[in-house]
Amino acid sequence: MSRVKYKKQAIKALLKMPRPLADRFRQAFQRIADDETRGLDLKKLQATEGLRLRIGSYRAILEIMDGDVRVLVLDIGPRGGVYK
């Protein structure tokens, strides 16, 4: 089982959003860490390095660290503000 690391900003966003949605994000992050991305709306970002995960109207920006697979969650939020 690989690790998922959260930045402080991502933790705050998870705590503010509805519980079922936050649980879906946590499960998706663990699936990405375990390299089970089938069925997830995951895309590579164009302007910067990293990936975008979409669940409903929320987006998460994350990076996959080299070496042992670790997912670093950078930010989570509604579509309009997460890319800034």
- The whole-model pTM stands at 0.84
Per-residue pLDDT 10s for the chain (84 aa) are: 678 888 888 888 899 999 999 999 999 998 988 888 899 999 998 988 888 899 988 888 888 876 555 677 777 877 766 666
pLDDT of residue 41: 92
3-class secondary-structure state, position 4: strand
* Predicted pLDDT of residue 57: 86
**What's the CATH number for 3-78?**
3.30.2310.20
State the helix-helix crossing angle for 19-33 and 8-16, rounded to 10 degrees: 140
